[in-house]
Amino acid sequence: MAELMDWSNLGFGYHKTDYNVRCYYRDGKWGEIEVCSEETIPLHMAATCLHYGQEAFEGLKAYRCPDGKVRVFRPDENAARLQSTCRGILMPEVPTELFIEMVKKVVRLNERFIPPYESGATLYVRPLMIGTSAQVGVHPSQEYLFLILVTPVGPYFKGGFASNPYVIIREHDRSAPLGTGIYKVGGNYAASLLANKKAHDKGYACEFYLDAKEKKYIDECGAANFFGIKDNTYVTPKSTSILPSITNKSLMQLAEDFGLKVERRQIPEEELSTFEEAGACGTAAVISPISYIDDLETGKRYDFGEEPGPVSRKLFEHLRGIQYGIEEDKHGWTMVVID
């Protein structure tokens, strides 16, 4: 049988699949889950998602595993994070059970688009919530649409588990509004597009943010958290303006399981020069080792080497092993969606 797609050469982009799933919030309650094969949504031109940013998304992956099963990774964490965002921008919360039922349904319906294990590609699952009622005054919507689309994706950065250069661009700030619990809302990413373009134009893989207030401490890199390794310690920034990554949370646990010390604290920029290894982590990035970080304003370069370091590699392989059902999932992080 001909292959549905050239799985091994997939980038991180959108490909049409067979179905998406949708659920509408009307009259103060969630309706039935609807299965849809349309890629578009009918939307009022005055919908609050378009004018006032009542919009939030999430991201997780489904993995086709060597044992023939399909697993997703910590979907309850994505549901909880979306609920936090919903509270912050006055959208109704999507109950965890509804969220997970829709994840299962959309993955099963699109089974033929889940890339084979050997390809290294996965099925990216993208939940999206929008306010749909018309408002011209700044008020929350009455009605909402929660939908989940899926798309097969390859590695976020070309080359997969390979080191890439990053660049600090001081005139831009990271997204998460300070300490409000509002995460993955579109406006934040609109503001990052220019920083990302500047980084790419200069030949870097990704932009790197310092804290918005003092421009002294490390925040995060593009749409991934930062970690550094030194003296048998996993160090990751504590800041109210970085997104609480589920991948980072998992890596902190794995590092601890490996007997590393874990520190979550402010990291002054100069401390970068003391790390033996550095990496970016997230659902899309998995672990993307960092070869060096340039600070364009000071002309400083923080170098971590062209080759991924041993601790980053070990964390990467272990995390991947759990996600693919190869290694024991002793924290109960994976959920089998197709048996």
Ligand X SMILES: *Cc1c(COP(=O)(O)O)cnc(C)c1O
Nearer to ligand X, 145 or 284 (CB): 284
* 3-state SS assignment for residue 179: coil
CB count, 10 Å around CB of 322?
A: 21
Nearer to ligand X, 44 or 87 (CB): 87
Containing H/E element for 234?
A: strand 233-237
Nearer to ligand X, 225 or 236 (CB): 225
Q: Cα Rg for the chain, rounded, in angstroms? A: 20
Chain residues binding ligand X by CB under 6 A are 59, 175, 184, 220, 223-225, 243, 245-247, 282-283
- E-strand ranges in 144-183 read 144-153, 164-168
Nearer to ligand X, 120 or 186 (CB): 186
Burial (CB count <10 Å: 0-12, 13-18, 19+), residue 32: exposed
CB of 220 to ligand X, least distance (A): 5
Nearer to ligand X, 54 or 247 (CB): 247
Query: Whose CA is closest to 218, among 267, 279, 277?
Result: 267
CB of 226 to ligand X, least distance (A): 9
Query: What is the rounded distance in angstroms from the CA atom of residue 81 to the CA atom of residue 315?
Result: 24
CB of 304 to ligand X, least distance (A): 19
Nearer to ligand X, 19 or 106 (CB): 106
What angle do helix axes 75-88 and 246-257 make, rounded to 10 degrees? 140
For the chain, helix, strand, coil in percent to 5 are 25, 30, 45
Contacts 24+ apart (CB under 8 A), 322-328: 322/73, 323/61, 323/63, 323/71, 323/73, 324/63, 324/65, 324/66, 324/71, 324/117, 325/63, 325/65, 325/66, 325/67, 325/69, 325/71, 326/65, 326/66
CB of 280 to ligand X, least distance (A): 8
CB of 134 to ligand X, least distance (A): 29
Nearer to ligand X, 82 or 260 (CB): 82
CB of 327 to ligand X, least distance (A): 19
CB of 155 to ligand X, least distance (A): 14
